[in-house]
A and B are shown apart, each in its own frame.
Chain A
Amino acid sequence: MAKISSKSGLVVDTNLIINEPAKTIQFLATGGLVFKDGVTWQALYSKLVDLWATPTYQDSEFPAYAIDALSGQFQIGTDGATFSGWTFADQSTRDALRDGGWSEYNDAGVEVAQYCGFVGLGSITPATTVQPYYHIDAADAPTNFPFTDQFNVGVKVKDNISLNKKVYAKAFVREYGKKFKSSILADTGSVGTGAFKQNFLVSNEDDLKITNLLGSNQVTADAAMSGAPYNGITVAYNTAAVQRTIAGVARDFKIIIEGNGGTLEQIYAKVQYLLRQATDINAGGTAGAKVGKIQDELLKFVGDTLVTSQSVFIDDVLPADSNRVEFYDDTNTLRKNNYTSSGTLEFNGVLVGAGSSYRLMFTSPTGAGNDYGEAGAVTVNNAAGSPITGTISSGSIAFDFDWNGNTQASYAVETERPVTLIAIRPGYGKFAAGTGTITQSKTIKISATAEADRVYSAA
């Protein structure tokens, strides 16, 4: 079925009940009316006009008033001049109204309720099961819209008792395997809600970062969150900024994600999981309880680069991922880590084991006496500033390098460096040297291959 947008789709005593004594209007889910699809306010209003053009209904006051159909401003219980007290028979009828907001007046002329017509623009999936939700106060718990799929429904924002929440509204769609989306009034230039139609920019699309990592089955994916590394990936919301150092400069952040050494995809997956939860997800932060599903989105992928929202930082990111994560600090300024080149030092089997030694040196830097083979030869430092040397514990040893910051041997930052890797394991592997170049890359490989040492004598 489809939304009834013409008065012809409404048939009195079939899917439309007009109760003149009780002054109520009611929809019934029959005769082509499906509540989820609904009826437009304009169709209802037009039908009422036609009915009241007949003698049958003219003995009753006209029930409704249309201020403007385009902006979706309607009233019930008044004809625009007098107040009759007409109303809707039940909440199901209200939930079936589309493309409009409205005020409800009692016969004394008191506005007893104000419904804003929340209309989501865009496509949301998975079809028939996606459940959007909203809240009309930042401190309110989330409320599901009455139907699945894209919403177009009246939400009560004011009554004549205590409810009056017309300055804030936010709609969300957060489904497993889909990119999250939320929309606030400002997205459409609005500053408040009321008895009119209010659009929200809510759509979603497949999130391949999630499904490629965890598959399409939400149950198994959610179950994985209790295992490593996901169980150690948490979010802390703080009231006061805490500092984190990026590229040597301390920056302020209020939301700190503990990455627990997971990949960026794993961190993202856990955070998206947390943001679907109806429970407090604040782990150790000072900002009090934070219900996951109404918190702002914290992370998004732009290609393979993970970008945080304002004031969000991630601790304990893998070194290999340090240059595909970008942070917006508390001032909403984009901050990036220095580039950390990385790669592996490769050794053949005779070099691996106790008594071995390796060292990476600049081959021929500027200046005298500091080439490899000379007394002033310079050992390359890793990103943490420690010399790249040690025992050859395996055939492949990872290393990293501060591409933006290393000025050893009078090199300018961000310049390629010819290097020499030497290795020896007395009694097993002869002295071996291999050359390579440190570049702005994450996949540098430098190899040293030695012959078996058959003559070494330990005596």
Chain B
Amino acid sequence: MITFDATSKRIVLDSASVTATEIYSRWCDWAASGDNAKHGMVIRQVGSDDLGAGLSIPPYYFLQGAWRIRPMESNHNLTITGNLFVEGGGVPVVQTLGTYQVNVNYTVPVQAQGISTSGGSGTSAAAVVEALCTDPRFKALLTLPNFLALKD
């Protein structure tokens, strides 16, 4: 369970894999509980605006003030998925309290659009790939040199 230490302004993880959306959502729950809202905004979220046809702008998350993420207390590889940043710049993750080696792997989307793959009315991922492959603009860009460059 993700916990929030308001005194040290730390978001404390308890797993090796977490999404920015998950961190944000648990903070929403925490802020709505008791008098936690007195600590103000911890994570600002922008994006996710609906573009239609199952597409949306990817969400971005910005840690506010001195709030940072602290990994769980163990040696591990931490994977954080999503566009998580510090407002105004900085490193989102701080060291554990104990002496542990934590390798942080940030996994962020490369597209400027999110794809809705859930529900019955959204466009499937396969359909999006199909659409991209048949789009003349995409095909024009996907030359052999470009493909090889991407592969490298």
- A and B from one complex: yes
- Report A's interface with B, CB cutoff 8 A: 355-357, 359, 361, 372-375, 377, 379, 387, 389, 422, 424-427, 430-431, 433, 453-459
Known A454-B48, A455-B45, A455-B48; judge A424-B38 contact (CB<8 A).
no
A259 → chain B closest CB, angstroms: 35
CA distance in complex: A412, B33 (Å): 30
Name which of B21, B38, B48 has the most chain A CB atoms within 10 A of its CB.
B38
A424 touches B24 (CB 8 A): no
B38 touches A373 (CB 8 A): yes
Contact string, B16-34, partner A, CB cutoff 8 A, digits 1/0?
0000011011001101110
The tally of CB-CB contacts under 8 A between chains A and B is 73
Tell me, yes or no, whether B135 is within 8 Å of chain A by CB: no
B37 touches A359 (CB 8 A): yes
B35 touches A379 (CB 8 A): yes
A453 touches B28 (CB 8 A): yes
A424 → chain B closest CB, angstroms: 5
A361 touches B38 (CB 8 A): yes
CA distance in complex: A427, B24 (Å): 11
B45 touches A375 (CB 8 A): no
A424 touches B25 (CB 8 A): no
Across the A-B interface, the 5 shortest Cβ-Cβ residue pairs: A373-B40, A377-B38, A426-B28, A454-B48, A357-B32
Residues of chain A within 8 A of B40, CB atoms compared: 372-373, 422, 433
CA distance in complex: A457, B56 (Å): 16
Tell me, yes or no, whether B59 is within 8 Å of chain A by CB: yes
CA distance in complex: A306, B22 (Å): 57
Residues of chain A within 8 A of B33, CB atoms compared: 357
A454 touches B49 (CB 8 A): yes
CA distance in complex: A355, B29 (Å): 9
Please, could you name 14 A-B residue pairs with CB atoms under 8 Å apart, sorted by A?
A355-B32, A373-B39, A375-B7, A422-B37, A422-B40, A426-B32, A433-B41, A453-B45, A454-B50, A454-B59, A455-B25, A455-B45, A455-B59, A456-B25
Residues of chain A within 8 A of B41, CB atoms compared: 431, 433
Contact string, B82-111, partner A, CB cutoff 8 A, digits 1/0?
000000000000000000000000000000
Given A457-B22, A458-B25, output 14 extra A-B contacts at Cβ < 8 Å: A357-B31, A357-B33, A372-B40, A374-B38, A377-B39, A422-B38, A424-B31, A426-B25, A426-B32, A454-B48, A454-B50, A454-B59, A455-B21, A455-B48
CA distance in complex: A372, B36 (Å): 11
Tell me, yes or no, whether B128 is within 8 Å of chain A by CB: no
CA distance in complex: A458, B24 (Å): 11
Residue of B nearest to A359 (CB): B37
A contact patch SS = loop
For chain B, give the interface size range.
Answer: 20 to 34
A431 touches B31 (CB 8 A): yes
Known A375-B6, A375-B7, A430-B45; judge A456-B38 contact (CB<8 A).
no
CA distance in complex: A430, B47 (Å): 12
Residue of A nearest to B49 (CB): A454
Residues of chain A within 8 A of B48, CB atoms compared: 454-455
CA distance in complex: A208, B39 (Å): 52
Partner of B24, one of A377, A389, A425, A456: A456
B38 touches A372 (CB 8 A): yes
B14 → chain A closest CB, angstroms: 15
CA distance in complex: A377, B33 (Å): 15
Residue of B nearest to A389 (CB): B35
CA distance in complex: A424, B44 (Å): 13
Residue of B nearest to A361 (CB): B38
Contact string, B47-62, partner A, CB cutoff 8 A, digits 1/0?
1111000001001000
A379 touches B28 (CB 8 A): no
A373 → chain B closest CB, angstroms: 3
B6 touches A424 (CB 8 A): no
Name which of A361, A373, A389 has the most chain B CB atoms within 10 A of its CB.
A373
B38 touches A359 (CB 8 A): yes
A453 → chain B closest CB, angstroms: 7
A427 touches B28 (CB 8 A): yes
CA distance in complex: A204, B137 (Å): 90
Residues of chain A within 8 A of B47, CB atoms compared: 455
Name which of B32, B56, B59 has the most chain A CB atoms within 10 A of its CB.
B32
Residues of chain A within 8 A of B24, CB atoms compared: 455-456
Residues of chain A within 8 A of B65, CB atoms compared: 373
A165 → chain B closest CB, angstroms: 70
Residues of chain B within 8 A of A356, CB atoms compared: 32
Residue of B nearest to A430 (CB): B45
B80 → chain A closest CB, angstroms: 15
Known A375-B6, A431-B41, A454-B50; judge A424-B35 contact (CB<8 A).
no
Residues of chain A within 8 A of B28, CB atoms compared: 424, 426-427, 430-431, 453, 456
CA distance in complex: A427, B25 (Å): 8
